[in-house]
A and B are shown apart, each in its own frame.
Chain A
């Protein structure tokens, strides 16, 4: 829907006979009090699992995000297991014996500088990838925002999997090219409109460049509804926006308490690797 609006906007501007111009400007933005950022996952695969804690910086600062030292991080589940994580490097806290199990509800509790932050997440059952396809015929240029001009030809990667029917499923897909994750493309899917169907998910974007001979891995995470909501809203605010269709920006909807940023996800993970022919 958003894409369609953006495309319509581009067309309208062209109709009016003028393409829009852009320019980098200096804005005097306020400084923000540093806030905690949590990046935490538990999976159904063997551990250890790592929690990364960092702080926000001001907009004008360099992209260097200070780690949070000396916090207390505890992950527990609903059957009585609990583990206090150990800080193994600056800002990284690691488990040693906790094992994620499908169907269990996990709780994270972080205490830092006298404030406590918590979140819960329930691990859904894993869904396997049926196949991964490298579509070399696709020309992903053109289309939205590009003013209708064609981009360079590229390979587009599609993952095909079968949605279990009768229950609400949420997925997040991550594509790795030669073991390098492409986090910029946030791909989350809800089976809301396609329960029980065979889903074909496009996991590459226009600006992803994949070549013949590359090794491509697609990871399919089965996530809970709150984590889906986090990534859906994160995608909404991080994708490039043209002025017209821009929704009012805000922080993504997190499952963490006390205004913390980031997310905590208990997820089942499946993957498949192919070599691009």
Chain B
């Protein structure tokens, strides 16, 4: 590692020497004036030198190296007043910018600063940043703001089902998304079997979805990275905020550890529908059903060069009724140290732990049966950012993750006839080394390229089987503890280029290769908490995706209107599907239930966004296809994947009626998922059975829905703020099918019928939010 750093530094110094003039560095942090929180992705520009704009990194840090001189430095961030400073640059300068939130958005006239065209000048495409403030204005489901549901309103992102917080990105499956909370992988991002996400928006600072090319520091999933960062907490004063909704309440407490030096945050959420149910319906006595989330974070600035962060998340779903119970949840923990080697070299060291588990309990009579399954990661990450000069930025680093998977342990009470069983634990080590270089040779052209080298090793102990095409065991081998069963090594290049045609438009092209070593086995239509993660092995090869994308970006009306068209094509290798009637849980030979093949996904995404003004919002439209070719399904022909959505339209509008009232609406329409329906029927052993001729040969009916919401700002003073949110999900009550099943007609034994199940029509909600 040390060698790598020195090589890179030497390289950087050489590049530096080529530039002859005296250069100095302006560096520092951009922060929120009220809370002291660092702002991620704020822009810092030098007015005198066009195209020197730089974004603050994930910790709010920026660094610009330019020749000696006098400069006007501007720092800005969406929703904040910009700040200008004049700097006489004769030596390295440290300058923090403290920005204030815009007080009155209503009377705001279009701001005429020239640097709101980031979408034009940035090399990245397929990136969606969610403004947590903006999420608050969008109509909510059951009174709970949900970042994942807001993401579903963007082009290229689709919900896995009505009311679900799961997402499909650009034709990938739900498990091909990497979900990170303060760098820790969240293996199951949903509560209540999918209806809510685990992210309590009170505790969230920044949400970025990379749906195309992922920066080189990320890896491990094929189609997207959802990078979520928790808030650090107010380092200026103690503050309490919260909300009371129909099914859940939230409370958030934060404040300085030492003013301006460090802060903490505690944020909690719990549902209480079970209390209500028990009160109204006696049959629920003795049952339990709730979930909770707890977010904790603290940070402290040790000195100018070092800052430490500790963050944790704990969430659990508890469902129990009669003799049955299902508990599941995530726990993550991250300890990070930011260190500034020099003004130009920023580093972050992270130690990460994550755990996802579920436990199923069954009791019949005096006997108990428990099934436990678990996945755990222990990770180390080291990231460097080298701000070489105004034209070059280099990122490099490494990470190493130890995965421990416990597929299933069955325990039972002593007198139970069911014997104890412990499926072999799986141990694996995943390593990555990466480097990327962002360069702006001219004001018109910018380029970013990177390389990620990854390795994945599966370890013993245990017996590992090899299967033939008919799923019979052909060979078995015993491995001792720490003995390597199989190692995979992959080189993952990526590149992004941007050509600015003029100040209003640009053209971008991206390519990347991603590799996924962990696979989620789920043969249900929409995912269960009991779905199983399995590592790549002697039978399961790593999934590989190559994605190409092109984009045209154009802004109108002084950057008030942003438009873009993006086209993508992805080629997937080693995709996994299942044999008919696959037995995935508690099966020691689960790998015999799998089928392998290829996939391809392509599409066009159109996006129009009005960013500012009393009325703002966006329209997104996606035309796409996602197909699979699996050995053993549909006579080895291409067929539509479940997540193949041809048309997907979303329209979001937010209107400030007055200073007190804001109205919002969201409309969604998309083509139904590809599904398997029977084409015929037959009788065997006295029973009518449906006859299936083709996997995914049919479509669900199209989905559509309109949500409306109103927010009333009841009080807003420096000391106390409160607001009411009124929302109605599916306001025109469209019957969106959740599932379609087939059965005997109860009124006519000679006939069979199709039955549609639908869940949510006219779901109203009311939430009271406060802050002091």
Bound form: Cα–Cα A244–B326 in Å: 15
> With A59-B678, A59-B690, A262-B684 in contact, do A248 and B523 touch (Cβ < 8 Å)?
yes
Would you give the shortest CB distance from B397 to chain A, in whole angstroms?
40
Cβ-defined contact, B526 with A244, below 8 A: yes
Cβ-defined contact, A261 with B581, below 8 A: no
Partner of A181, one of B193, B371, B678, B686: B686
Among listed B223-231, B597-605, B747-755, interface-contacting one: B747-755
> With A17-B273, A248-B695 in contact, do A261 and B684 touch (Cβ < 8 Å)?
yes
Q: Give the residues in chain B near A247, CB-CB below 8 Å.
A: 523-525, 581-582
> With A25-B740, A250-B580 in contact, do A20 and B193 touch (Cβ < 8 Å)?
no
Q: Give the residues in chain A near B326, CB-CB below 8 Å.
A: 4-5, 8
Within 8 A of B (CB), among A106-127: none
Cβ-defined contact, B749 with A197, below 8 A: no
Partner of B754, one of A27, A64, A251: A27
> With A15-B192, A23-B755, A30-B679 in contact, do A251 and B691 touch (Cβ < 8 Å)?
yes
- Interface centre among B678, B739, B749, by most A CB within 10 Å? B678
Interface size class of A (residues with CB under 8 A): 35 or more
- Interface centre among A16, A37, A65, A197, by most B CB within 10 Å? A16
B727-754 contact mask (Cβ, 8 Å, vs A): 1 or 0: 0000000010111111100000111111
- Interface centre among A20, A143, A243, by most B CB within 10 Å? A243
Cβ-defined contact, A195 with B419, below 8 A: yes
Within 8 A of A (CB), among B628-679: 676-679
Interface size class of B (residues with CB under 8 A): 35 or more
Instruction: Answer whether residue A156 sits at the interface, using C-beta atoms and an 8 A cutoff.
Output: no
Cβ-defined contact, B683 with A37, below 8 A: yes
A251-274 contact mask (Cβ, 8 Å, vs B): 1 or 0: 111000000011100000000000
Bound form: Cα–Cα A106–B271 in Å: 59
Q: Give the residues in chain A near B580, CB-CB below 8 Å.
A: 233, 250-253
- Who on chain A is nearest to B421 by CB? A193
Cβ-defined contact, B690 with A249, below 8 A: yes
A6-46 contact mask (Cβ, 8 Å, vs B): 1 or 0: 01110111111110111111110111101101010000000
Instruction: Answer whether residue B760 sits at the interface, using C-beta atoms and an 8 A cutoff.
Output: yes
Would you give the shortest CB distance from B633 to chain A, in whole angstroms?
9
Cβ-defined contact, A243 with B757, below 8 A: yes
Q: Give the residues in chain B near A252, CB-CB below 8 Å.
A: 580-581, 689
Partner of A16, one of B247, B290, B421: B247
Partner of B530, one of A1, A17, A64, A229: A1
Instruction: Answer whether residue B9 sits at the interface, using C-beta atoms and an 8 A cutoff.
Output: no
Cβ-defined contact, A27 with B410, below 8 A: no
Cβ-defined contact, B322 with A142, below 8 A: yes
Among listed B58-66, B176-184, B281-289, interface-contacting one: B281-289
Q: Give the residues in chain A near B96, CB-CB below 8 Å.
A: none
Cβ-defined contact, B581 with A246, below 8 A: no
Bound form: Cα–Cα A73–B409 in Å: 47
Bound form: Cα–Cα A250–B693 in Å: 8
- Who on chain A is nearest to B362 by CB? A4
Bound form: Cα–Cα A21–B736 in Å: 11
> With A12-B289, A15-B273, A24-B754 in contact, do A7 and B324 touch (Cβ < 8 Å)?
yes
Instruction: Answer whether residue A134 sits at the interface, using C-beta atoms and an 8 A cutoff.
Output: no
Instruction: Answer whether residue A242 sits at the interface, using C-beta atoms and an 8 A cutoff.
Output: yes
- Who on chain B is nearest to A27 by CB? B754
Cβ-defined contact, B750 with A64, below 8 A: yes
Among listed A49-57, A79-87, A93-101, interface-contacting one: A49-57
Instruction: Answer whether residue B142 sits at the interface, using C-beta atoms and an 8 A cutoff.
Output: yes
Cβ-defined contact, B679 with A59, below 8 A: yes
Cβ-defined contact, A253 with B581, below 8 A: yes
Within 8 A of A (CB), among B684-709: 684-693, 695, 697-698
Bound form: Cα–Cα A29–B691 in Å: 12
Cβ-defined contact, B684 with A15, below 8 A: no
Would you give the shortest CB distance from B700 to chain A, in whole angstroms?
10
- Who on chain A is nearest to B747 by CB? A24
Would you give the shortest CB distance from A203 to chain B, in whole angstroms?
15
Closest 5 pairs (CB-CB, A-B): A243-B739, A233-B581, A250-B580, A32-B680, A32-B679
B residues sitting closer than 8 Å to A (CB atoms) are 142, 163, 192-193, 195, 246-247, 271, 273-274, 277, 281, 283-284, 287, 289-290, 319, 321-322, 324, 326, 360, 362, 371, 410, 417-419, 421, 523-526, 528-530, 578-583, 585-586, 676-693, 695, 697-698, 735, 737-743, 749-761, 763
Listed A/B pairs (18) with beta-carbon separation below 8 Å: A4-B530, A5-B193, A12-B192, A15-B277, A17-B142, A56-B691, A59-B679, A59-B681, A62-B750, A199-B417, A200-B417, A246-B524, A248-B523, A250-B676, A251-B580, A251-B692, A253-B579, A262-B684
